[in-house]
Structure 1
Amino acid sequence: MSGSTNLLLDSLPQRLSGIPERWAQQTPEAIALCQDGVAFTFQQLAQASIQAAQWLRDSGVRPGDRLMVVAENCIAQIVLIFAAARIDAWIVNVNARLSAAEVDAIGDHSQPRRIIYTVSVSAEARAHAERGGALAHQLTGVGEIAVGALNETCSVEPVCASGSEQVAALIYTTGTTGLPKGVMLTHRNLLFIAASSSQVRGLVPGDRAYGVLPITHVFGLASVALGTLYAGATLYLAARYSPAALLQAIRDDKLTIIQGVPAMYARLLEYDKGRQDLAQTSLRFIYAGGSPLDSTLKLETERLFGRTLHNGYGMTESSPTISQTRLDAPRSDTSVGSVIPGVEARIVDSQGADLPQDEPGELWVRGPNVMKGYYRDEALTARTIDAQGWLNTGDLVRQDSDGALFLIGRSKELIIRSGFNVYPIEVEAALNAHPAVAQSAVVGRPGHGGNEEVVAFVELDPTQPAPNEQSLHDWLVSRLSPYKRPSQIVVMQAMPAAATGKILKGQLKELAQRLLKEELHPEP
Structure 2
Amino acid sequence: MTSFSSGPAAAPTRIHQLLDSWVHTQPHALALQDPGLALSYLALKEASESAARQLADLQVRAGDRVLVVGENCAAIGVLVLALSRLDAWSIVVNARLSEREIDTFIAHSGARRVIYTCHVSADAQKHAQRHGALAQSWGEIGTLWVGALAREVQPEPCSPEARDQVASMIYTSGTSGAPKGVMLTHANLMFAAASARDIRGLGPGDLIYGVLPMAHVVGLSTQFLGCIASGAALQLEPRFSPAALAQALAQQGVTAFVGVPAMFAKLLDWAREQGQALQAPALRFACVVGSPLTPSLKAAVEVALGQPLHNGYGLTETAPTVAQTRIEAPRRDCTVGFPLPGVQTRIVDAGAGAEPAAGGVGELWVRGPNLMKGYYRNEALTREVVNEEGWFNTGDMARRDADGALHIVGRSKELIIRSGFNVYPVEVEQALNSHPAVVQSAVVGRTVEHNEEVVAFVELVSDAQPGEEAMREYLRERLSPYKVPSEIRFLAQLPAAPTGKILKSELKTLALQGRTPL
- Structure 1 equivalent of residue 377 of structure 2: 376
Aligned equivalents of 2:407, 2:424: Cα separation in 1? 18
Structure 1 contact 290–502 (Cα < 8 Å) conserved: no
Report the equivalent of 1:117: 116
Q: Name the stretch that deviates more: 281-290 or 17-26.
A: 17-26
1:12–1:191 CA contact under 8 A, matched in 2: no
Counterpart position of 2:73: 74
- The superposition leaves residues 367-403 of structure 1 with CA deviations (integer Å, 9 ceiling, x where unpaired) of 0000000000000000111111111111100000011
Q: Deviations 1:485-508 (Å, cap 9, x if unpaired)?
A: xxxxxxxx9xx99xxx9975xx76
Corresponding residue number in structure 1 for 2:298: 298
> Can you list the C-alpha shifts for 1:251-302, whole angstroms capped at 9, x where unaligned?
2311000100011111111211173433551100100011111111111111
* Structure 1 residues 346-357: aligned runs within 5 Å: 346-351=346-351, 352-357=353-358
- Render the CA deviation track for 1:118-151: whole Å, top value 9, x for unaligned: 0111111111000100000111211010000000
Structure 1's unaligned 5+ residue stretches are: 1-9, 415-423, 429-440, 445-452, 462-492
Q: Is the 8 A contact 1:105 1:179 kept in 2?
A: no
- Residue 137 of structure 2 is matched in structure 1 by 138
**Which amino acid counterpart does residue 297 of structure 1 have in structure 2?**
L
Partner of 1:310, secondary structure, is strand
Number of the residue aligned with 1:331:
331
SS of the aligned residue for 2:115 comes to strand
In structure 2, the partner of 1:219 is 218
Is contact 2:84-2:167 (8 Å) kept? yes
Q: Which moved more, 1:21-30 or 1:377-386?
A: 21-30
Residue 267 of structure 1 aligns with an amino acid whose one-letter code is K
CA 454–59 in structure 1, closer or farther in 2 if over 3 Å, else same: closer
Residue 420 of structure 1 is matched in structure 2 by none
Other-structure match for 2:152? 153
Which has the higher mean CA deviation after the structures are superposed, 297-306 or 385-394? 297-306
Distance of aligned partners of 1:297 and 1:515 in 2 relative to their CA distance in 1, 3 Å threshold = farther
SS in structure 1 at match of 2:347: strand
Q: TM-score, normalised by structure 1?
A: 0.79
Whole-Å Cα distance in 1 between the matches of residues 297 and 112 of structure 2?
44
CA–CA distance in 1 between the matches of 2:444 and 2:182?
31
Q: 1:349 to 1:502 in 2, by over 3 A?
A: farther
- Corresponding position of 1:83: 82
The equivalences for 1:89-128 within 5 A come to 89-128=88-127
Q: What does residue 52 of structure 2 align with?
A: 53
Matches within 5 A, 1:147-296: 147-175=146-174, 178-273=177-272, 275-278=275-278, 281-296=281-296
Partner letter of residue 346 of structure 2? R
Q: Is the 8 A contact 1:256 1:283 kept in 2?
A: yes
Distance 1:401 1:443, change over 3 A: farther
Contact 2:175/2:424, CA 8 A, preserved across alignment: no
Q: Matched residues in 2 for 1:322 and 1:37: separation?
A: 34
CA contact (8 A) 1:443 1:508 kept: no
Q: Does residue 362 of structure 1 match 2:345?
A: no
- Cα offset, 1:21, TM superposition: 2.8
Tell me which residue corresponds to 1:438: none
Give yes or no for the alignment of 1:309 onto 2:300. no
- Larger mean CA deviation between 28-37 and 256-265 belongs to 28-37
In structure 2, relative to structure 1, the CA distance for the partners of 1:175 and 1:270 (3 Å cut) is farther
- In structure 2, what is the Cα distance between the partners aligned to 1:269 and 1:515? 37
Q: What amino acid maps onto 2:392 in structure 1? A: L
Contact 1:278 1:306 in 2 (8 A): no
Is the CA contact 1:33–1:41 (under 8 Å) kept in the aligned structure 2? yes
Amino acid at match of 2:242: P
Deviations 1:338-361 (A, max 9, x none): 111110111001153222221100
- Aligned to 1:225, the other structure's residue is in SS state helix
Are the equivalent residues in 1 in contact too, given 2:249–2:280 (CA < 8 A)?
no
Separation in structure 2 between the aligned mates of residue 84 and residue 456 of structure 1, nearest angstrom: 38
Structure 2 counterpart of 1:377, one-letter code = N
Q: CA offsets per residue over residues 176-216 of structure 1, 9 Å max, x none?
A: 75320000000000000000011000011110000100000
SS at match of 1:365: strand
Assess if the C-alpha contact under 8 Å between 1:196 and 1:340 holds in 2. Answer: yes
Q: Which amino acid aligns with 2:257?
A: I
Following superposition, the deviation at residue 304 of structure 1 comes to: 1.2
Whichever residue aligns with residue 406 of structure 1, its letter is H
Q: Which amino acid aligns with 1:315?
A: L
2-side partners of 1:271 and 1:392: how far apart?
A: 39
Q: Where does residue 14 of structure 1 map in the other structure?
A: 13
Q: Which letter does structure 1 place at the counterpart of 2:493?
A: K
How has the CA–CA distance of structure 1 residues 338 and 40 changed in structure 2, closer, same or farther, with 3 Å as cutoff? same
- SS of alignment partner, residue 298 of structure 2: helix
Q: Which amino acid aligns with 1:307?
A: Q
Equivalent residue number for residue 432 of structure 2: none
After the TM superposition, which of the residue ranges 144-153 and 174-183 deviates more from structure 2?
Answer: 174-183
The 3-state SS of whatever aligns with 1:62 is: coil
Superposition CA RMSD, Å: 3.0
> Which letter maps to 1:259?
V
Number of the residue aligned with 1:517: 493
The answer to whether the 8 Å contact 2:37/2:74 transfers is no
Rounded to whole Å, the distance in 1 between the matches of 2:179 and 2:408 is 25
Task: Measure the CA separation in 1 of the matches of 2:348 and 2:486.
Answer: 27
The corresponding residue for 1:431 is none
Q: Secondary structure at the match of 1:204?
A: coil
Relative to structure 1, the CA distance from residue 327 to residue 57 in structure 2 (aligned partners, 3 Å threshold; closer, same or farther) is same
Q: Following TM superposition, where does structure 1 have runs of at least 4 consecutive aligned residues deviating by more than 4 angstroms?
A: 441-444, 453-456, 458-461, 501-504, 507-512
Give 1:222 shift. 0.7
- The alignment partner of 2:409 has SS state of strand
Residues in 1 aligned to 2:131 and 2:448: alpha-carbon distance in whole angstroms:
36
Instruction: State the shift of 1:79 in Å.
Output: 0.3
CA contact (8 A) 1:214 1:221 kept: yes
Tell me the equivalent position of 2:343: 343
Q: For 1:374-523, list aligned pairs within 5 A.
A: 374-413=375-414, 457=446, 515=491, 517=493
Code of the aligned partner of 2:339: V
Is the 8 Å Cα contact of residues 442 and 455 (structure 1) preserved in structure 2?
no
Q: 1:516 to 1:298 in 2, by over 3 A?
A: farther
2:338 touches 2:405 (CA, 8 Å); kept in 1? yes
In 1: Cα distance, 2:277 partner to 2:283 partner: 12
Secondary structure of the 2:327 match is coil
Distance 1:11 1:61 in 2: 27
Residue in structure 1 matched with residue 464 of structure 2 by the alignment: none
Q: Distance in 2 between matches of 1:405 and 1:23?
A: 35
User: What is the alpha-carbon distance in structure 2 between the residues aligned to residue 49 and residue 187 of structure 1?
Assistant: 17
Percent identical pairs in the alignment equals 48
Query: For 2:102 and 2:175, how far apart are their aligned partners in 1?
Result: 14
Helix, strand or coil: the match of 2:253? coil
